Amino acid sequence: MKPRIALIAHDKKKDEMVALASDYVDFLRGCTLMATGTTGGRLANELGLTIERKHSGPFGGDLQIGAELVEGRLDAVVFLRDPMTPQPHEPDINALVRACDVHNVACATNTSSAHLLLAQLRLQAMKK
């Protein structure tokens, strides 16, 4: 079964997300990917990844991804958050991260933890 990964990035982290995904692009092409609106668009346009795009975060995209997670349709979440900029949809962000904890789904919230998570998922996929 292909790993099912959600990719989300706040505005000031979108360039980091594209750079991160480019480091794992061959692996990510073999995954089922989901992303919030603009992030998904950039990953599709700039890296050629096939991504199920949800709404942007402020318009409910984080909640849509949270619902997919609760239904067991995600194995991991990479959410590059901008901790220095207030977000108008902060309650949705907190709900998504909380859902990861409640449902024991790996969640990376910065590039260091994202590299660890994606490297491990890639290693597991190569063993299968």
62 is catalytic: yes
Identify the burial level of 60 via C-beta atoms within 10 angstroms of its C-beta, where 0-12 means exposed, 13-18 middle and 19 or more buried: middle
Question: From the candidates 23, 62, 75, 82, which is the catalytic residue?
Answer: 62
Residue partners of 2: CB distance under 8 A and separation at least 6: 30, 31, 32, 125
Most distant pair of Cα atoms in the chain: their distance: 42
Rounded Cα distance, 99 and 76, in Å: 12
Residues serving a catalytic function are: 62
